[in-house]
Every structure is written in C-alpha cells, then in structure tokens.
Structure 1
Amino acid sequence: MTTDPERARAVRQLRRKRGLQVHALWFVLVTLVLIVVWLIWLRSIFFWPLTGLLPWAVGLAFHAWAVSHPSEFDDARIEREMDRLHHRRSGLD
C-alpha cells in the first residue's frame, strides 16, 4: 500500500502527463488546420505554417522533457546532495 505523499506525487505526475497530452493534441490539430489552409489557398507561397509551428514544437519538446524528468527529487538524491554539502563545509572549516 502506498503512503499519502507517494500517492500525491503520483497524482501530480499523472496531471503533468495529461497536460502534455492536451498540449500535443492541440499542436497536432492546429498543425493540421494550418496545413490544410496552406494547401487549399496559399500553396504558391512558401510554407508559412512552419514559422509558427517550429517554435511551438520546441516548446512542446521542452514540455515533454519536463514531464519525463520531473524536478521532484527522491530520497537517495537528497541524501547525496546533503552529504556533498556536508563534505564541502567540513573541508572549509
């Protein structure tokens, strides 16, 4: 059985994943609409949808990175950092 902090952490991560899914869905839908508009009316002009979609894709990539590498730290990582800080302080005394 999980503890309340573990459950809360899991719920936060699931919400992050859902947010990424919604972000990706909107990206795909808007991309399709812009490409259809370009294909129907403005094909002779350069592929202008790229000017907005490329920066958005970069933002989506950063969003995916943030979800796949959450900033919450596990106990082992916290202990290692505490040890590192303790050793640094001990060396300066």
Structure 2
Amino acid sequence: MRSTKSEAAKKWDLRVHLLFYVVANLAQVITWWLYTPEQFFWPMWSLVFWGIGAAFHVWTVYSPPKSRAVL
C-alpha cells in the first residue's frame, strides 16, 4: 500500500503525536504526584504502552522505504 502523505506531513504528524504524548503523560504524572504519591505509580501504564506506540510511529517515519522488486 502506498502512502499519499508527503514526508513533511508525516514528520508534522509525528511531532503532534509526541507533543500530545508528553503533555498528556506529564499531566498524569503531576496528578499522581499531587494526589496519590504514596500509592502505586499508575501513570507508568500510559508512559509504557503509549510510548511503544510512539516508538513505532518514529520508526515508520524515519525508517528507509522498502524497495519494491520489479519482475
């Protein structure tokens, strides 16, 4: 399947994704720290699993394109 987005659009989408990742997870960590610092660090789940998704997004944007074999 061929992507119709330009490289600049893909990089912009990645930047927006990473910005939301940082802001949302920072808000969760601050909430945890203000209200339940003595309890389990529950923001870990979002940091880890959303982080995996963000890592795959970085990988897809910056990995070299696959060459297609011409028969």
- 1:49 matched to 2:18: no
Matched letter for residue 41 of structure 2:
F
Question: 1:90 maps to what in 2?
Answer: none
Structure 1 gaps of 5+ residues are 1-8, 86-93
CA RMSD of aligned residues (A): 1.9
Identity between Structure 1 and Structure 2 (%): 32
Matched letter for residue 6 of structure 2:
R
Question: 2:57 maps to what in 1?
Answer: 63
Question: Considering only CA atoms, is the larger Rg found in Structure 1 or Structure 2?
Answer: 1
Structure showing greater relative contact order (alpha-carbon pairs closer than 8 Å, 6 or more residues apart) = 2
Question: 2:14 maps to what in 1?
Answer: 20
Structure 2 gaps of 5+ residues are none
Higher helix share: 1
Superposition deviation, residue 52 in structure 1: 1.8
Distance of 1:50 and 1:61 partners within structure 2: 16
Matched letter for residue 13 of structure 1:
E
The size of the alignment, in residue pairs, is 68
Q: What TM-score do you get using the length of structure 2 for normalisation? A: 0.83
4+ aligned runs moved over 2 Å, structure 1: none
